[in-house]
Amino acid sequence: MAERATLLVLAAVLGLPAPPDGLRRAVVVHVVDGDTVDVRLGARRERVRLIGVDAPEAHDSEKLERDARRTHRSKAAIEAMGRRASEFTARRLQNEAVGLELDVERRDRYGRLLAYLWLPDGTLFNADILRAGYAHVLTIPPNVRYASHFRAIEREARLAGRGLWGYRPSIRRSASRAAA
C-alpha cells in the first residue's frame, strides 16, 4: 500500500499518469517490434499492440511502403529506425513482468490485444518509448485515455532531439555534405 501511495505522489509531481488498480498481470515473452509484443497472460499467449504509439517498421511490409511515401524517407532508413525502436523495446520489456491496462476497444482488426503496458516500478511503457523518442503518437479513437499526455511527451522528445528525432540516416548526411 505504501508503494502505491509513493507511485501516486511521484506521478502527480511529474505530471504522469499513475498505474490504475486492477491491471492484468502478464510477462513479455517476445518483442515483435517497437510497438508490439507477445505476452504470457495466464495460460495463454497474446499478441499485444501498444495503444497510442507507433514505432517505425523494422521489416518490409505494406505499412513500410506507405510510411516511405508519406515521409519521403527511404525504406532502408525507416527499417534502420524501426530496428532501433525494436531494440529499445526489447531492452526494456523482454522477460519483464508487466501490467496490462485496456481501454475502450479491446482488440484491433488483426485480433491483437490493445493495451497500455505498466512496468513494476510504475512506469507506463507507452509513454516511456515516446519519451525516449523511439515512437510517435498514434491516436485511434475511442482508445484515447492518455492521448494529450502522449502528445506532450512526444513534443518534448522531438524538441530535445531524442531517439529517432535526432537520428539522421546516412542518406541525409550524404546529401547535406554534397550540398556543402
Cα distance between residue 32 and residue 110, in whole Å: 14
Go through the chain and tell me how many residues it has: 180
Greatest distance between any 2 Cα atoms in the chain: 60
Q: Is 156 assigned a catalytic role?
A: no
CB–CB of 42/48 below 8 Å?
no
Strands (E), 34-83: 36-41, 44-50, 53-54
By the 8 A CB rule, do 34 and 128 touch? no
Distances (CA, A) of 93 to 16, 34, 37, 109, 125: 20, 10, 9, 24, 9
- Please pick, among 46, 57, 79, 101, the residue that the annotation labels catalytic: 57
Q: Given 73, 92, 112, 131, which residue is catalytic?
A: 112
Please indicate whether residue 112 is annotated as part of the active site.
yes
Structure-block grid coordinates of residue 158: 522531438
Q: Which of 49, 84, 92, 131 is catalytic?
A: 49
Q: Is 25 assigned a catalytic role?
A: no
Q: Just list the catalytic residues.
A: 49, 57, 112
